[in-house]
Amino acid sequence: MHMFGVAGTGMSAAKLLREGGNKPRVHRDAWDKMMMERDMRLTKEYRKQSDEPIAPEDFKTSSVWRASRIWDD
Amino acid sequence: MTTSKTNPREPHAQPYYITDPTPLPSHIPSVPEIGATSAPLLSASYFIGARCAPYNEDFMLCRSQGRTGETDCLKEGRRVTRCAISVLEDINKNCQAEFRKHWGCLENENHDLSRCRLDEAPLNACVAKFLNLTKVIPNSDGTPINDYETPSFFQKKVKAKYEQ
């Protein structure tokens, strides 16, 4: 019986470690995904936040655009 | 006929990523970018809106005139960025503890403002006292949020603490 409690504690601890001690983000829409991608570009870590007014210089050129390859044969 | 690795009989778009490390040309004035991530930005959003309303509306007007290209509305965009940076600098200087508590709560609660009212009230009071910025809900009758006519008991307590 006690093993269930141990396993559950271990699973939730592992999840919290990934999320930086926070509860996971749920119901993410396109806006949230865009903002989380921007956060990753700013802080280089998953779900790490920063409240600096001014961004580091490499943020200006770190944008990523997605494109699809057009096959031309 | 287009082919792909997964199914050789049907067309298939494979996404790939484009990066561009070249900086802006020198004839465009350079402006620092906002370094705040999503939770602090959401927490400060109403105060940015209170101080930067003219510049934000200018930018939105410029975009609504059909100038939606990458190089359109750059001047208005520079003003928006500079104003938002100024708000964040002032909040960090005067109300950093309350600010960090509020966006820390937001980051834990899936960015749901309604779950972090307890941490939002001291932030609103501190910003109203030091920055003279009040949170106002757009498209409402315009009463500032931290100055109700009949404040609740909790709001009276918070107000009393900041007006000692």
pLDDT of A4:
66
Chain A contact set for B96 (CB, 8 A): 51
> pLDDT above 90 covers what percent of chain B?
63
CB atoms within 10 A of CB B152: 10
- B39-52 pLDDT, tens digit each: 999 999 999 999 99
CA B89 from chain centre, in angstroms, equals 13
Q: B49: part of which helix (H) or strand (E)?
A: helix B45-64
Shortest Cα distance, chain B CAs vs residue A12, angstroms: 15
Could A51 and B37 be called an inter-chain contact, meaning their C-beta atoms sit closer than 8 Å?
yes
ipTM of the complex: 0.81
Chain A contact set for B103 (CB, 8 A): 49, 51
pLDDT of A17:
79
Q: Where are the domains of chain B?
A: 38-133
Q: Which residue has the tokens 């950093």?
A: B96
Shortest Cα distance, chain B CAs vs residue A54, angstroms: 4
Minimal-distance CA residue of chain A relative to B102: A51
- A6-50 pLDDT, tens digit each: 666 677 777 777 888 899 999 999 999 999 999 999 999 999 999
Chain A contact set for B1 (CB, 8 A): 73
Q: Which two tokens stand for residue B7?
A: 């199914």
Per-residue pLDDT of chain B (164 residues; tens, 9 = 90+): 455 566 666 665 667 888 888 999 999 999 999 999 999 999 999 999 999 999 999 999 999 999 999 899 999 999 999 999 999 999 999 999 999 999 999 999 999 998 888 899 899 999 999 999 999 888 888 777 765 555 567 767 777 777 77
